Structure 1
Amino acid sequence: MTEDTSVWGIADVSSGKGKSDENFPVGSVLISKQLRPHVHAYYAYARVIDDIADSTALSPTDKIARLDAMEEVLHGQRQPIDRADALSAARLRTSLLQTGVPFETATDLLIAFRDDSRGHVYESWEDLLHYCRYSANPVGRYLICLHGESPTAFGPSDALCTSLQILNHMQDCAGDLAQLHRCYIPAGLMRAAGATQDDLLAGRLSPAMRRVFNTMLDGVDALNRQAAALPAHVHDRRFRMECAAIVTLAERLTLRLRREDPLAGRVALRRTDAMHAAFAALRTWR
């Protein structure tokens, strides 16, 4: 195994983001205490590779080299150095070997983050769905496999994870463009509505950009309808409650983005949304 450490460089890739920056619970109390450390290991790894792709201190070439090194550590092909980012991959490798969860739930994420590092342009809704297949859907599949649930849950889980990812892109579209020079709003949808990327930096939604957002939210509504079936596919009671709560939060955030302007300020979930999610979770208790 190679022990070359030069690929890691000296750049700090931490974004400063944490669980408090997420819309949805990460390793919440509804996840069993026994499984929570594995969820935290997966989240820590995902946070690191996301930070690498978002780093302003690394070139695209350096980002991809660092992501490739993380994959080599995951597969046991490279020894991790004593740094948090490399060690997160080593810890997840140990977790995956212990639990038997497929390594693809971790390595598929790297496909999306390599695209982010290259500055990939999303032309169509289908392009965005393809990105979410790798950036978001592996997270749900990881949790399903970790809980020993049936693969029949993959379909509605994929729909939920894709919905959450697109909602997050819509919340953060102005910051992504201004700070990372990255745009997840499909270019074809903007052209069809008579909008441009400049509209995302205007501080308020133009009528044209509102049409784009409404079209995207129509697609998210369809995803949410598919995701609504997820709790029925989950046998573990606590995980089923978690799924029901997150499905409801996705639906509530979709409604908020219909009514509010994410360019004027971050559209965020509120206490009333959390209450609706709690009621939804309790209804699955059986």
Structure 2
Amino acid sequence: MNTAEHDVWGSEDVSSGKGAGDENFPVGSLLISRQMRPYVHAYYDFARVIDDIVDTDRLDPQAKIARLNAMEEVVRGTRTASQRPDAQTAARVREMFARTGVPVETATDLIVAFRQDAVKNRYGTWDELVEYCRYSANPVGRFLLDLHGEGPQTAGPSDALCTALQVINHLQDCADDLRKLDRCYLPREWMEREGARLEDLYGPFALPALRRVFDAMLDEVDRLNDEASRLPALVRDRRMRMECAVIVGLSKRLAARLRREDPVAGRVKLSRGDVLAAMAGALRVIGG
């Protein structure tokens, strides 16, 4: 590797140590066929690495963007991957796309969002946040559906589901995002309308003004989940249809928990009962 290559990749280990078990929803779960699971895990590993790159405090914004650009070039085949583990995840994704025919944009669009995260830490409006989710979340659903050969009719409900899940995650992590990353995804316009302040996220619990912002965001999540409810019936592959039905159920249950519980006081999580109930609900949907 020449000096320029070394300067791009650097020597910093930016791994967060997180894995699939740290996510709200199962990655490459048993509902996905054994044949498809390695492809899903390759995609997840790549997504985790680029997420870690942008969230690390060991790199400045310019270094983050340079490394993300290098990852994109590896995925597109215009750069040879180094032997570093992070670069190798991009190489495996490139090989996976060549083998499956899934559009490469389902990975490179994620990089668009993470480059934005490197330099942008506040969002003015709900529409601005939804546009961010278009790149940070929606490609994940499109990847899974394209991998299973699903048609374009699934795109709208899938995007709604992925955006709902992303906003739910922003609400779960709202206090930690500000404290650890100086990042806030709550729309500033709605914060000002309700009289909430960023400093309120540092408190031990959500004040009424901040709670109203959460509820306004959850109103939008509920509308997105309603649209996402159409997705399972549009999916042809039976296992993927079940996976979609379970995730829609989990998204609705987690949104309901965020209505009842306070994400400032502690991270709101799904219970085992939520998971079992979502699976039972999915069986009813599929059976019907």
Using structure 1 for the length normalisation, give the TM-score.
0.98
- Report the secondary structure of 1:185's partner residue: coil
1:16-42 deviation per Cα after TM superposition (whole angstroms, max 9, x unaligned)? 111111001100000000000000000
The corresponding residue for 1:247 is 248
1:200 pairs with 2:201: yes
**One-letter amino acid of the counterpart of residue 93, structure 2:** L
SS of residue in 2 equivalent to 1:30:
coil
The question of 1:173 aligning with 2:174 is answered yes
* Contact 2:121–2:182 under 8 Å retained in 1: no
Name 1:43's counterpart in structure 2. Answer: 44
Question: Which residue of structure 2 lines up, in the alignment, with residue 127 of structure 1?
Answer: 128
C-alpha offsets along residues 39-82 of structure 1, whole Å, 9 cap, x if unaligned?
00000000000000101100000000000000010111111111
SS in 2 for 1:4: helix
- Cross-structure match for 2:138: 137
Separation (CA, whole Å) in 1 of partners of 2:233 and 2:65: 39
Structure 1 match to 2:264 = 263
The corresponding residue for 1:164 is 165
Identity %: 59
Contact 2:158 2:228 (8 Å CA) reproduced:
yes
Aligned: 1:185 with 2:186: yes
Task: Return the letter of the residue paired with 2:236.
Answer: H
| 1:82-113 CA distance string (max 9 Å, x none) | 11110000000000010000011000001100
- Specify the alignment match of 2:109 in structure 1: 108
Report Cα offsets for 1:4-24 as digits up to 9, x if no partner. Answer: 232000111101111111001
Distance in 2 (CA, whole Å) between partners of 1:180 and 1:119 is 11
- 2:161 touches 2:228 (CA, 8 Å); kept in 1? yes
By how many angstroms is 1:201 displaced? 0.8
- 1:19 alignment counterpart: 20
- Tell me the matched-pair count: 286
- CA deviations 1:128-170 (Å, max 9, x no partner) are 1000000000000000100000110000000000000000000
Give the partner amino acid of 1:181.
Answer: D
Secondary structure at the residue paired with 1:33?
coil
Deviations 1:173-226 (A, max 9, x none): 100000011001111110000011101111200000000001000000000000
Q: For residue 11 of structure 1, what is the amino acid of its counterpart?
A: E
After superposition, the C-alpha distances for 1:219-263 in whole angstroms (9 at most, x for unaligned) are 000000000000011011110000000000000001000000011
- For 1:238 and 1:85, locate their aligned partners in 2 and report how far apart those are by CA, in whole Å: 31
**Following the alignment from structure 1 to structure 2, what is the Cα–Cα distance between the partners of residues 282 and 232?**
12
Counterpart CA distance in 2 for 1:189 and 1:222 is 18
Letter in 2 for 1:216: M
Aligned partner of residue 266 in structure 1, secondary structure: coil
Give ranges in structure 2 of 5+ residues lacking alignment. Answer: none
Give the letter aligned to residue 132 of structure 1: C
Structure 1 residue 121, shift from structure 2 partner: 2.0
Contact 2:123 2:187 in 1 (8 A): yes
2:232 is the alignment partner of 1:228: no
SS in 1 for 2:5: coil
Q: Residue 217 of structure 1 corresponds to which residue in structure 2?
A: 218
Q: CA RMSD in A?
A: 1.3
* Shift in Å, 1:282: 1.6
Report the equivalent of 1:60. Answer: 61
Aligned partners of 1:241 and 1:285 also within 8 Å: no
Q: Distance in 1 between matches of 2:98 and 2:267?
A: 39
Note if contact 1:30-1:239 (Cα within 8 Å) is conserved in structure 2: yes
